[in-house]
Structure 1
Amino acid sequence: MDDQNKNLLIATGLSFVVILIWFVLFPPPEEPAQDQADPAAITQTEGQPATTPSTAPGSASGDTASPAPDTAATDTPRVPIDTPRLEGSIALAGGRIDALTLKDYTVDIDEDSPNVEILEPVGTGHAYYTLFGWAPGSGLSASDVPGPNTEWQVAEGDTLTSDSPVTLSWESPAGLVFRRTVSVDEDFMFTVTQSVENTGESEISAAPYGIIARHGEPVDLKNFFVLHEGVVAMADGKLNEIDYSDMPDMDMLPSEGARAEVTQVSETGWIGFTDHYWMTTLIPGDTGFKQVSKYDDSRDIYQTEAVMPTMSLAPGESREVTTQVFAGAKEYETIRDYQQQGVDRFIDSIDWGWFFFLTKPIFWLLHQLHQLIGNMGWSIIALTVILKAILFPLAFKSYVSMAKMKELQPEMEKLKERAGDDRQKLQQEMMALYKKEKVNPASGCLPILLQIPIFFSLYKVIFVAFELRQAPWFGPFQDLSTPDPTSIYNLFGLLPWAAPDPGSTLALVFVGILPILLGISMFLQQKLNPAPADPTQKMIFAWMPWVFMFMLGGFASGLVVYWITNNTITFTQQYLIMRSQGYKPDVFGNIRSGFKRTPKDDKPAK
């Protein structure tokens, strides 16, 4: 590889390092979330959705009821929810599913850690709930349809379980009878069936809708460039994602009364909010519907809607519509099972990223290894070995080319001496030498470049996959989705004080044992080759392993385990292949030479 190619690779690598350091040292600023529990922050229409749902032109009016202030969001009568994996309640005020906790998952690995709350009622500080209703059409006013604060009555059932549904009912002043039946399976899928009976003497029309509303951003928002958090929607096979941070920049639509993005779904789709590990999604039936993403600037409320077509009811006629609601953990197998049951492309609700054609098979392989081995740490190591074996032909070609280039170094130095400052002559003689020795300098770089998408795909898998959350390995490594819990600060647990909190400045400085092993593995891999003659390049290469050691100390332990394994295998492969080609790397000699002081005559002029 000539000097120009070397300089290009060094510049590319340094640019990547600078970008990573910038994201670590200067993360995007977190905007303070509005405290919804603060009475000054709650408007008179606190219990309402951000804006009222719209329907097709010329049909329903597009307005739900304008209720009185929701002053009893947490004190309203409730119907308990109790299933093998969920517990919570349905508020009779509005018939909202607004309190939901996951029985299987805790906030962290501490013994006294509380369970994860998916949904919370208005008035708790971080309201997040589902809401259903009907937009009034011809022959109806806002008071004739159930709204956000309508007081429902329990018609059937006293507790919602996976075996027993609950039915709510409400009779409007106009004499219409509305019923809402809610059922839930043994995992995370609710089924909400809304019905209306026209007991009047004239024809009426109304449009059923479902809403997911969130007051403020999530408290545990990651704001990390590799992870999508916000709206996730599927419309007729097309995936759409909108980050929370991008929703305030959506167009202001006067017809919606808020910033909104509207999509008409012809056949199948779904829409909701996704976080790092949790998701809440509306899934209408197999009919077209209007898909809406909204943000209310004045009250800091994020909202997604599914508005079904307007229904006309003759006197004495009844109509009903069914909508499913997923509210739970983004478990791969659970979401895949729902897709197999008919939810179109539901597996794409997991954030696979740009290289989805790589992340999906890589995750599948990791998932299968985990089921076989039963330990995620060893599964990551096994996955790395398999990927290195698959990529071995590329690696072999790269290392053989590097070995041949090393053999040609003496000849290259002679060519440089003869050519002097004549760069064109040097290039011509170098190309002639490559042709004579049948060496392609690009063949050593291309295989490395081809491996970059695989590296980023594996990084994506380890960062976003729910299966790594709180996944133990051994000893102190009980959660591979969090940074290394060990630290130089307390001599890896030998001293009687705790390690710095993950993400703190001390944690970035006093790294754990895994980042140290990563730095050592990079250092040894680097020493397979002599240090560059150029003093600047030599200094850059000397510092790079240790810069990465400190910089990556705050990354997920599972990812650092992969890097250590990858570096170790790469070192072994490169060493053995170079020896097989007649080049004998002097690792220890290169290490010793790295500690020698640079002679004064060789130092660059200031």
Structure 2
Amino acid sequence: MDNRNLLLAVLLSGLLILGWDVGMRYFYPEAALTAEATEGKPAGANAAPAVSGDIGADTQAGRKIDLKAALASPNRVEIDTPRLAGSINLVGARIDDIVLKDYRETVKKDSGPVRLFAPEGTAGQYFAEFGFVTGGMRQPSNLLWQADGTKLTPTTPVTLTRTDANGIIYRVRFAIDKNYMITASQSATNAGAAAAIIQPFALIKRTSKTATIDQFATHSGPVGVFNDTLWDPHSYAELAEIGGENPEGAPDWLGFVDQYWLGALVPGDGRGDVAVDKAGFRSLGNDLFRTDLLYAAKTVAAGGSLTQETRLFAGAKESAVLDQYEESGITNFGLAISWGWFWFFEKPILWLLRTLNGLVSNFGVAIILLTVIIRGLMFPIAQKGFASMAAMKAVQPKMKEIQERFKDDKQRQQQEIMKLYKDEKVNPLSGCLPMLIQIPVFFALYKVLVLAIEMRHEPFMLWIKDLSAPDPAHILNLFGMLPYDVPGFLAIGPLAVLLGITMWLTFKLNPSAMDPVQQQMFAIMPWILMFVMAPFAAGLLLYWVTSNLLTVAQQSYLYSQHPQLKAANAKEKAERDRKKTQG
């Protein structure tokens, strides 16, 4: 019977190992993260028809354009700040060229900066557009605007101007700060003879082909805050299925988020107090998506004017920077990072991680030190749980005696057991409570390592050049010496092996389970986890290995303080082995 159960467990484990890789590729197809990596791939074709409340269909959808050719156009105004570079496209008043100076595409020293925005029609298309709807008609996106300057910098704003056939003068004044925020002041002056109904709009359009995968720990896709509440229920695939959605409530900000990057529109001051007609998200088909911000219509009399301010965030999800913008008035802007329920643990942990990295100048060492500090802080809780476990072991003989004596009277049996707990001052729940307290803390630590952009492209030592990427060394091709790529589910590196070994050691030191099948599962579980965890970021594996080693040290010390618990476990194991031999 035990052999059959073990065989079944091994077969299920094998299916898990094989199915994990296949399932991840099916449900979360790996997306290229850069425009360079996707150059030459189909960029998506015709936009979907306009829906109710939409600002109209795009006029240039379906065109396939080479990135270099698009950026070589003379109709561009340069953008240059300490952290951003790029250009404004005078055709359509679009910001469609943004690279992040502080972040490289790859770990290679000669790698170019991360490209966030790219022109429409290119493989990595992702851009923002600012314009007007007049008399119910959206201005075409192929109109040429005139600029009053040649470079947008934190000290030199640029104003784009265009006049339509009715004499209405449209202006978009762009200003930019030293981080990632661009302010677009849209104004319309009616120099014509008749009143006009005018609505400023702003939009962000992108392809999902260059998006990071949407996963449990970090959201990738449409995101926003409406009526002070975070809205991020859909992945790109889900949005494509439903077609579009206008979340309820006034928009504080809205856009698209990746694991490390964000493109978002902020109406007015970001407090949801601007009159907005429509704000929502659209699937345009062919892996193209758009977020729309259409302001309320205003009647502008002859000689009158209107002005509307919209901010555009295009940059990295740096917690400190997002918090600064939130403190300046943008409601819950820091929630662009997928903190989840345990944000009150995660933010202090991230601060400590950044501080440690500043002290030791090695992010891997900082992860090790952070793990040691947190485990040290949790040690009194673990010690209390272990002491409770030892006390429960001590009273087990008396419990068995009560259970045998009152086996036909369950109510009396429970009463006597509760009396035993009271007399011996034992709380059966006190062993579980410390473990429950630790769970949110350690989960918060895990999430910080997933979310922290500070870990991206950070080296540790030897072969680990990027802690945010999987371990690049694979045992089955002799660490790259053999000329073939190891299949995903067999791509086991040294860190994954260390994880398996240290996990096995922690299970060996755990109190023995009474069920033989549980024992067999505990024996093979570390090696299953070795395969399952291998594709995770090296920084996460480093944390788990360090945590396991600390667990081994902690359990060894606690067993030395409670020898009766170790003796009880040994006695149980001997009794189980005796019964197994006799059976």
* Superposed pair shares fold, TM > 0.5: yes
Which residue of the partner structure matches residue 224 of structure 2?
233
Q: SS of 2:500's equivalent?
A: helix
Structure 2 residue 79 is the aligned partner of structure 1 residue 42? no
Cα distance in structure 1, aligned partners of 2:15 and 2:442: 18
Give a deviation string over 1:117-146, Cα, whole Å, max 9, x none: 111112212321101111113xxx63xx63
Which residue of the partner structure matches residue 437 of structure 2?
450
RMSD between aligned residues: 3.8
Alpha carbons of structure 1 residues 298 and 514: separation in structure 2 relative to 1, 3 Å: closer
Which structure has more helix as a fraction of its residues?
2
Which residue of the partner structure matches residue 81 of structure 2?
83
Deviation at 1:313, TM superposition (A): 2.0
| Conserved 8 A contact 1:403-1:578 | no
| Match runs of 1:295-310 below 5 Å | 295-296=282-283, 298-310=285-297
Give a deviation string over 1:315-358, Cα, whole Å, max 9, x none: 22232222111101111222222223332221111110132233
| Conserved 8 A contact 1:102-1:328 | yes
Deviation at 1:183, TM superposition (A): 2.4
Which residue of the partner structure matches residue 602 of structure 1?
581
Corresponding letter in the other structure for 2:79: I
Q: Gaps (5+ residues) in structure 1? A: 1-14, 55-61, 251-257
Give a deviation string over 1:553-605, Cα, whole Å, max 9, x none: 22222222222222222333333233324437489x97xx99xx97895387x
Which residue of the partner structure matches residue 193 of structure 1?
185
Cα distance in structure 1, aligned partners of 2:484 and 2:447: 27
Alpha carbons of structure 1 residues 31 and 406: separation in structure 2 relative to 1, 3 Å: closer
| Conserved 8 A contact 1:83-1:186 | yes
Deviates more, 1:362-371 or 1:321-330: 362-371
Alpha carbons of structure 1 residues 386 and 350: separation in structure 2 relative to 1, 3 Å: same
| Match runs of 1:200-219 below 5 Å | 200-215=192-207, 217-219=208-210
Give a deviation string over 1:233-290, Cα, whole Å, max 9, x none: 122322111322321344xxxxxxx63224442xx71111101111101112132324
Cα distance in structure 1, aligned partners of 2:131 and 2:188: 11
Query: What is the count of residue pairs matched by the alignment?
Result: 552
Structure 2 residue 295 is the aligned partner of structure 1 residue 316? no
Cα distance in structure 2, aligned partners of 1:413 and 1:438: 18
Corresponding letter in the other structure for 1:202: A
Which residue of the partner structure matches residue 167 of structure 2?
175
Which residue of the partner structure matches residue 496 of structure 1?
481
| Conserved 8 A contact 1:384-1:566 | yes
| Conserved 8 A contact 2:133-2:199 | yes
Alpha carbons of structure 1 residues 531 and 41: separation in structure 2 relative to 1, 3 Å: closer
Q: SS of 1:195's equivalent?
A: strand
> Residue 580 of structure 1: which of 541, 550, 561 is its match?
561
Deviation at 1:370, TM superposition (A): 2.8
Identical counterparts, % of pairs: 37
> Residue 272 of structure 1: which of 236, 255, 259 is its match?
255
TM-score, length-scaled by structure 2: 0.83
Structure 2 residue 146 is the aligned partner of structure 1 residue 153? yes
Cα distance in structure 2, aligned partners of 1:497 and 1:261: 53
Cα distance in structure 2, aligned partners of 1:32 and 1:463: 17
Corresponding letter in the other structure for 1:504: G
Q: SS of 1:554's equivalent?
A: coil
Which residue of the partner structure matches residue 131 of structure 2?
133
Q: SS of 1:104's equivalent?
A: strand
Q: Gaps (5+ residues) in structure 2? A: 1-11, 32-37
Alpha carbons of structure 1 residues 130 and 20: separation in structure 2 relative to 1, 3 Å: farther
Which residue of the partner structure matches residue 559 of structure 1?
540
Which residue of the partner structure matches residue 383 of structure 2?
396
Alpha carbons of structure 1 residues 42 and 36: separation in structure 2 relative to 1, 3 Å: farther
Which residue of the partner structure matches residue 283 of structure 1?
266
Which residue of the partner structure matches residue 332 of structure 1?
319
Structure 2 residue 106 is the aligned partner of structure 1 residue 108? yes
Deviation at 1:398, TM superposition (A): 0.6
| Conserved 8 A contact 1:481-1:558 | yes
> Residue 512 of structure 1: which of 474, 493, 499 is its match?
493
| Conserved 8 A contact 2:49-2:57 | no
Deviation at 1:293, TM superposition (A): 2.3
Cα distance in structure 1, aligned partners of 2:277 and 2:198: 14
Alpha carbons of structure 1 residues 123 and 298: separation in structure 2 relative to 1, 3 Å: closer
Which residue of the partner structure matches residue 471 of structure 1?
458
